Amino acid sequence: MEISEEKEQHYMEQHKNTGDEFKKIERSDRLRRKVLKTFTYAGLTFWALVVLFPFYWMVLTSVKSYSSYNSEYIPKLFTLSPTLQNYKEAFTAVPLAGYFLNTVIFAVVTTMLMLIVTVLAAFAFARLNFPGKHLAFTLLLSLMMIPNELVVITNYVTITNLGLRSTFTGLILPSVSSVFYIYLLKENFEQVPDQLYYAAKVDGTSDLKYLRKVLVPICRPTIVTITILKAIECWNSYVWPRLITDDEKYFLVSNGIQEIRENGFGRENIPAMMAAVVVISVPLIVLFLLFRKVIMEGVSRGGTKG
């Protein structure tokens, strides 16, 4: 009996020591996670401030008067007398509203045409069987290896030979297709089970109806993501519009800003220039904030297979 009691007491002490060690390890692990989380959030906060500071400085400069901006020998991080006069001058001194309208037309038409081409091409590569399908897709992906500068030169010669310089058609045509978006949407289409396609074919559903009624609703997040990213790309487009037209009637906002800087008030009135840049940047920021969750979901779904 005494031996049993001693064994039991020894077992209890050993079990207690083991429990204490586990508690110490758990506390240490919990402390390590808290420290790591604190450093992570501190780093992300610092990086967010670094990224947002240029935009803050741009907005701050846009609400400073011309006299106060020029009288500051040491730049200040705030202003006690903000003004909206710069925004009024940005719209009255140059045809900024016309640049806006041109950009909206260019972005809407280009995005719609690109969406039609991308959806049809992605469906063909994902679901249809035709001779040379894999070779054609491989060649299509290889186009991503070609530098954009070479493509711009080829497009410029083609558009010039067709007599489409300084026209909306010449602006839009080279931008209605995207290899990356076709690849992204194709991968998303292939995630949809094949059984749905076979069942639709058994019911006599055409390929176009299957695409419209099944694939497009299921892959809506990716399609919305592509639409938004293309609209942002069109809004920020600079090289091609600048190259293909010298007519101010067809300038986009990015070209308009450059025109303001070179021939307008940009070199003298920096606050008014910053006001014009803020006005141009706000639509993109609002668009991204409204659809950021959809963009993230669409990109993650398009890049995940299975």
**Model pLDDT for residues 216-227, shown as the tens digit of each residue:** 888 888 888 889
**Model pLDDT for residues 60-119, shown as the tens digit of each residue:** 888 888 777 777 667 777 777 888 888 888 777 777 888 889 999 999 999 999 999 999
| pLDDT value, residue 19 | 58
| pLDDT value, residue 113 | 94
Between 158 and 297, name the one with better pLDDT.
158
Between 2 and 19, name the one with better pLDDT.
19
| pLDDT value, residue 255 | 80
Phi, psi dihedral angles at 296 (to 5 degrees) = -65, -40
Q: Where are the domains of the chain?
A: 2-62, 95-302
| pLDDT value, residue 88 | 82
| pLDDT value, residue 20 | 61
What Cα–Cα distance (Å) separates residue 263 from each residue in 64, 66, 121, 164, 254? 22, 18, 43, 26, 14
**Over 50: is that where the pLDDT of 246 sits?**
yes
| pLDDT value, residue 119 | 92
- How many C-beta neighbours within 10 Å does residue 131 have? 6
pLDDT band at 215 (very low <50, low <70, confident <90, very high): confident
Between 269 and 39, name the one with better pLDDT.
39
| pLDDT value, residue 306 | 42
| pLDDT value, residue 305 | 46
Which CATH code is given to the segment(s) 95-302?
1.10.3720.10
**Over 80: is that where the pLDDT of 7 sits?**
no
pLDDT band at 120 (very low <50, low <70, confident <90, very high): very high
**Model pLDDT for residues 149-180, shown as the tens digit of each residue:** 788 888 888 899 988 888 889 889 988 888 88
